[in-house]
Amino acid sequence: MSLNIVQCLNQIATYCRIQGAKISIDANSVPTCVYKNKTTVGALNIALMLIEASKTNLSAQNSVELAQIYEWFEYTLLYCTASNSQVVIKDLNDHLSLKTFLVNDRLTIADIILYYAVYNIVENMTYLEKEKFVHFSRWFDNMQQDKKLLQKNKSIDFSTNYLVSVAPARH
């Protein structure tokens, strides 16, 4: 299973409350968006256009942040697949060990894109895997608390109470 970029971009459009954006894949497998009679080509360009049109504070505030957003977006497109899920989760867990968000100390489009990209992977993680990747789990659980971001996705349980029933402590 590979990343469904059209679905991801449509979720971003919904999150940004952008109505009327027509996102599709052209004959060359390139994402294209028509919004207010303007055509935007390329997944990252579309995501950035949606953020700009929404007038939210999710875009880069300087060139370093923009470069980091580009880097995370490229990482998402190249590596976020079910067959690569353990590597992705480990990479993210390591990166998030001392951070709350992917870029600097605030929510950006990079977090939103990655959240939608890994949702299906996290949905299939066991409780033990969630415990193993505690920093990633903290980030994901924090992200899903935003009901606007969650949209029609169900909230994924990160409760550790399950572990007590599976492996009770003995003294």
pLDDT digits (tens, 9 = 90+) for 37-74: 999 999 999 999 999 999 888 989 999 999 999 999 99
Distance, C-alpha 58 to centroid of its chain? 13
Q: How far is it, in rounded angstroms, from Cα 104 to Cα 102? A: 7
Strands 31-35 and 22-25: antiparallel
Token pair 């999710």 is at which residue? 58
Q: How far is it, in rounded angstroms, from Cα 108 to Cα 162? A: 32
Report domain extents, the chain: 5-158
Pair of tokens at residue 169: 């402590």
- What sections of 20-84 are H helices per DSSP? 43-54, 63-79
State which fold the 5-158 domain adopts: Glutathione S-transferase Yfyf (Class Pi); Chain A, domain 2 (1.20.1050)
pTM value is: 0.86
pLDDT digits (tens, 9 = 90+) for 80-116: 887 889 999 999 999 999 999 999 899 999 999 999 9
